[in-house]
C-alpha cells in the first residue's frame, strides 16, 4: 500500500481563510472579541458556513495576522506532502474592509515567502471575488494580481446564479495581462454555470464543476477545451451539496473523459486535508494507485507552476507510483 502522505501533491483549490488553525483562530478571536460560531464538519447549510467565514475574516486585522495564517498554511501543507499550492485569498475584500488595499495581500505574500523558505513548499496565490460584489472591486483584484507576480490567477466565487457578463471586460484584460482565470461554477448551480464560466469567464480551470454532468453538451465543451475541474469531495458533503463521499460524482466525471484534480477547498471547516481527500478516494471509492497518480499529475499539469516545478513533480509522482 503506497503512502498517500508521501505522494507529491499539488493543491489548487484551497481558501486561505478556511485553513486557519483552530488554536490560532481562538487566539485571534479572543484578542478582537469576535464570536466564532459553527462547528467544524457540522455546518447545516451554506448560510451557516458563510457566517462562520465572516467571523474568521473579522479575526484578520493586522498584517501579522495575515502573515501568520499564510505561514501556518505552508507548515500544514508541507507536513502532508503538498509540494506546490495555489492558495485562494479574497485580497480586495480585506483591503476594502481594512481601508488598506495592498496590505492584506502583501502580508500574505510575506507569510508565504517565510513559510516556503522554512518548509520547502512552493506557493502561489489566486485572488478571488464574490460575484455579488462590484465590477470595480474585481478590477481592483486584477490590479493586485498584475502588481504581484506571485498572484497567478483571479476568479469568481460566491453565488453562482449571478451572471458573469458584467465582468467580461476584466476577464479579457486578465487574459491580455497573462493572469489566469479560475472560477467557481457547477457547485451550487447547474451545468449552465459551468458553460458560462468557460465561454464568458474564459476559465483556465473550474472550481468544483461537477454539475456539468447534468448536460452532455457542457461535458463536451469541457472535454473539447480540456478545462480541468478542481474536485473537492469533503467540502461538497459538509456543505450539503452531495450526500456522501461514496456517492460523489467524481468517478462519473472521470468516466466522462474530464480532467479531474483533487483539492480540499475549506479544510479547516471540514477537518480534512489533501492527503485525507486522496485517502477517501482510495477507501470510499476504491480508486487504485494508477488513478490516484493520474489525478495528482493532472493537478500538476493544470497548475500555474513554473515549468521546472511541473517537470520535477511529474517525475516524483512517477517515482511514487513505481515504488511499493
**Residue window 25-44: x/- pattern of binding to Zn ion, with contact defined by CB under 5 A:** --------------------
Torsion angle, alpha carbons of 237, 241, 242, 243, to 10 = 80
Q: Would you put residue 309 in left (φ > 0), alpha (ψ -120 to 50) or beta?
A: alpha
Task: Determine whether 187 is an active site residue.
Answer: yes
Q: Which of the stretches 62-70, 109-117, 220-228, 260-268 binds Zn ion when contact is defined by CB under 5 A?
A: 260-268
φ, ψ at 72 (rounded to 5°): -70, -30
d(CA 247, CA 92): 36
**101 versus 158: smaller Cβ distance to Zn ion:** 158
CB of 290 to Zn ion, least distance (A): 28
CB of 209 to Zn ion, least distance (A): 11
**Please, what sign has the CA dihedral across residues 44, 76, 184, 53?**
positive
How many binding residues for Zn ion (CB under 5 A)?
A: 1
Q: Which of the stretches 48-56, 72-80, 259-267, 298-306 binds Zn ion when contact is defined by CB under 5 A?
A: 259-267
Q: Which of the stretches 38-46, 50-58, 160-168, 257-265 binds Zn ion when contact is defined by CB under 5 A?
A: 257-265
Q: Strands 260-262, 180-185: parallel, antiparallel or unpaired by DSSP? A: unpaired
CB of 207 to Zn ion, least distance (A): 5
CB of 18 to Zn ion, least distance (A): 8
**59 versus 126: smaller Cβ distance to Zn ion:** 126
**57 versus 321: smaller Cβ distance to Zn ion:** 57
Residues near 48 by beta carbon (within 8 Å), at least 6 away in sequence:
37, 38
Q: What is the CA radius of gyration of the chain?
A: 18
Distances (CA, A) of 280 to 56, 144, 248, 292: 27, 36, 11, 11
Q: Which of the stretches 95-103, 137-145, 264-272, 286-294 binds Zn ion when contact is defined by CB under 5 A?
A: 264-272
φ, ψ at 83 (rounded to 5°): -100, -25
**263 versus 289: smaller Cβ distance to Zn ion:** 263
CB of 214 to Zn ion, least distance (A): 20
**101 versus 130: smaller Cβ distance to Zn ion:** 130
Q: Which of the stretches 25-33, 247-255, 258-266, 316-324 binds Zn ion when contact is defined by CB under 5 A?
A: 258-266
**Distance spanning both ends of the chain, measured CA to CA:** 7
**106 versus 265: smaller Cβ distance to Zn ion:** 265
Decide: is 265 part of the binding site for Zn ion (CB under 5 A). Answer: yes
Contact 111, 103 (CB under 8 A): no
Q: Hey, which bits of 137-179 come out as E strands?
A: 151-157
**Residue window 125-164: x/- pattern of binding to Zn ion, with contact defined by CB under 5 A:** ----------------------------------------
Torsion angle, alpha carbons of 132, 108, 315, 251, to 10 = -30
CB of 185 to Zn ion, least distance (A): 11
CB of 47 to Zn ion, least distance (A): 16
Q: Which of 106, 139, 187, 230 is catalytic?
A: 187
Q: Which of 212, 281, 210 is nearest to 242 (CA)?
A: 210
**196 versus 265: smaller Cβ distance to Zn ion:** 265
Contact 309, 315 (CB under 8 A): no
**Cβ-closest position to Zn ion:** 265
Positions touching Zn ion (CB under 5 A) are 265
Which amino acids are annotated catalytic? Answer: 187
Amino acid at each position: 500500500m503506497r503512502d498517500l502522505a508521501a505522494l507529491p501533491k499539488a493543491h489548487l483549490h484551497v481558501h486561505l481563510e478556511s485553513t486557519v488553525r483552530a488554536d490560532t483562530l481562538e487566539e485571534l478571536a479572543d484578542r478582537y472579541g469576535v464570536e466564532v460560531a459553527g462547528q467544524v464538519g457540522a455546518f447545516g447549510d451554506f448560510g451557516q458556513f458563510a457566517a462562520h467565514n465572516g467571523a474568521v475574516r473579522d479575526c484578520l486585522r493586522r498584517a501579522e495576522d495575515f502573515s501568520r495564517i499564510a505561514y501556518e498554511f505552508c507548515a500544514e501543507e508541507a507536513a502532508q506532502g503538498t509540494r506546490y499550492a495555489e492558495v485562494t485569498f479574497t485580497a480586495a475584500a480585506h483591503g476594502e474592509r481594512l481601508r488598506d488595499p495592498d496590505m492584506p495581500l502583501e502580508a500574505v505574500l510575506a507569510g508565504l515567502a517565510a513559510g516556503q523558505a522554512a518548509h520547502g513548499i512552493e506557493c502561489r496565490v489566486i485572488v478571488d471575488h464574490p460575484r455579488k460584489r462590484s465590477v470595480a472591486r474585481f478590477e481592483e483584484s486584477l490590479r493586485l494580481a498584475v502588481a504581484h507576480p506571485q498572484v497567478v490567477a483571479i476568479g469568481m466565487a460566491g453565488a453562482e446564479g449571478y451572471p458573469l457578463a458584467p465582468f467580461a471586460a476584466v476577464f479579457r484584460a486578465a487574459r491580455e495581462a497573462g493572469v489566469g482565470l479560475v472560477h467557481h461554477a457547477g457547485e451550487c448551480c447547474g451545468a449552465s454555470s459551468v458553460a458560462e464560466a468557460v465561454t464568458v469567464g474564459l476559465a483556465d480551470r473550474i472550481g468544483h464543476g461537477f454539475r456539468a454532468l447534468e448536460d452532455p453538451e457542457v461535458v463536451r465543451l469541457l472535454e473539447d477545451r480540456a478545462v480541468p475541474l478542481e474536485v473537492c469531495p469533503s467540502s461538497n458533503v459538509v456543505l450539503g451539496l452531495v450526500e456522501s463521499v461514496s456517492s460523489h460524482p467524481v468517478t462519473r466525471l472521470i468516466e466522462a473523459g474530464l480532467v479531474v484534480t483533487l483539492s480540499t477547498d475549506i479544510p479547516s471547516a471540514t477537518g480534512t486535508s489533501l492527503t485525507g481527500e486522496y485517502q477517501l478516494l482510495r477507501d470510499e471509492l476504491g480508486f487504485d494507485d494508477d488513478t490516484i497518480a493520474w489525478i495528482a499529475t493532472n493537478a500538476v499539469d493544470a497548475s500555474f507552476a513554473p515549468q521546472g516545478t511541473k517537470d520535477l513533480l511529474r517525475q516524483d509522482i512517477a517515482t511514487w507510483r513505481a515504488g511499493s
